[in-house]
Amino acid sequence: MAVQRRESVTTADVARAAMVSKATAARVLSGRGSASEEARERVLRAAETLGYVPNELAKAMSIGVTNTIGVVIPDIANPFFASVVRGISDRLRSKGIEIIISNTDNDPQVEARALRLLAAKRVDGLVLAPVIPGPSKVAADLSDKGLPMVLLDRRTEGLEAIPLVSLDHAATARLATRHLLTLGHERIAILTEVPELALHQPNPSGGIHRPAALRLWGHVSALRDAGIDLDPGLVLGADYDQQSAAQAVRSGLPRTGATALFCTDSVLTSGAYRGIAALGIRLPDQLSFIGFDDQDWTTMVTPAVTVMAQPPKKLGDAAADVLLRRVEEPEVPVEDTIFQGELLVRGSTRPLGAKSPRAGVRGSSQPTELVEESS
């Protein structure tokens, strides 16, 4: 059976039903301009009777506000970004603003298309976690043209003038490594996406904030503060996926003689844990282990995993607040908003040698107990 499409009720329809001019009806329905109280009541009564729905796009074009914000992130499946987006959404919704989310999979072409589409939809502003390594020319162009924007988690080349809301990546990694050092560990392996940068200091003062590089440098600086030079053999590299991380641990960790392992993000942490289990290494008897991000599964395994926790809800709230300030007062400079990470000490770390006659990775055959994560 064919479905009849309902014709939209127009301003002219409302005007005829209310027996007023179209101009009067338009003023009442838009909330702009003046009309007598009697005319206003007739127009509103007619609009309700007819089921009038305002054309939001036309309204947005006339007043320049859509009450929508674009949020562009690299991986919505990552629990960290999912939690941050929830914080952004909750904060903005409380102010009558909705968000449009785009997932880029860290693909610069996908990001460019998403940014152009959101701009075409006349969003009032953008929260962007830019593709690494960048540069994001479309984002820079939109910012230069006056679209309010806030960067989330990282800053890439060409976006130095846009305010950033982020974790202090280097300081958080330093805290993790210092914890292991205070426990007596000196041979500390690190699993990172950027092993090639281990001997190169990033330059956050230059405006570039690549999380993986800053976390790696935080680890290196903590070692140097303790008088320990980085051993390149303790730097394990993996792509940004769990399988790659698991393989890097399985193939690389047994050769290191490491007594501790630090993972620099949540995806690598999940993969590394599986690699440790496959090697049959006992935590923390044979290896102390620190992950990144307080994921649910880290408290559901035995022993629970010590982690560096980010505050995703606070990051989301701050990103929304900073963007609203940019929308309302675009000429007022806004400084970066930087949060500190928190060390959550659990059962996967312990002092070197404590109840551990075989400390250090030697390829034990006893597996770490695993508890399946609930869906």
pLDDT at 188: 98
Instruction: Give the integer Cα–Cα distance in Å for 214 and 244.
Output: 21
pLDDT at 198: 77
What confidence score (pLDDT) does residue 171 get?
A: 96
pLDDT at 359: 46
Tell me the Cα Rg of the chain: 27
Residue type, 188: I
Q: Where are the beta strands (DSSP E) in the chain?
A: 68-73, 98-103, 125-128, 149-152, 164-167, 188-192, 235-237, 260-263, 288-292, 306-309, 337-339, 342-344
All domains of the chain, ordered by start, with CATH? 11-54 (1.10.260.40), 68-162+312-339 (3.40.50.2300), 169-305 (3.40.50.2300)
Stated as kind and residue range, the H or E segment containing 57 is: helix 56-63
For residues 285 and 356, is the Cβ–Cβ distance under 8 A? yes
In this structure, the number of other CB atoms found within 10 A of the CB of residue 126 comes to: 27
3-class state of residue 70 by DSSP: strand
d(CA 164, CA 207): 10
Q: Which segments of the chain have a pLDDT < 50?
A: 1-6, 57, 61, 63, 205-206, 356-359, 362-375
Q: How many CB atoms are closer than 10 A to CB 303?
A: 17
Tell me how many helices (H) and strands (E) the chain has.
12, 12
The per-residue pLDDT for 354 is: 77
Q: Any idea what DSSP says for residue 209?
A: B
Question: What pLDDT shows up at residue 33?
Answer: 64
What pLDDT, on the 0 to 100 scale, is given for residue 35?
A: 80
Supply 62's token pair: 């006339």
Provide the token pair at 207.
């405006």
Interval 29-44: pLDDT, tens: 877 667 888 988 999 9
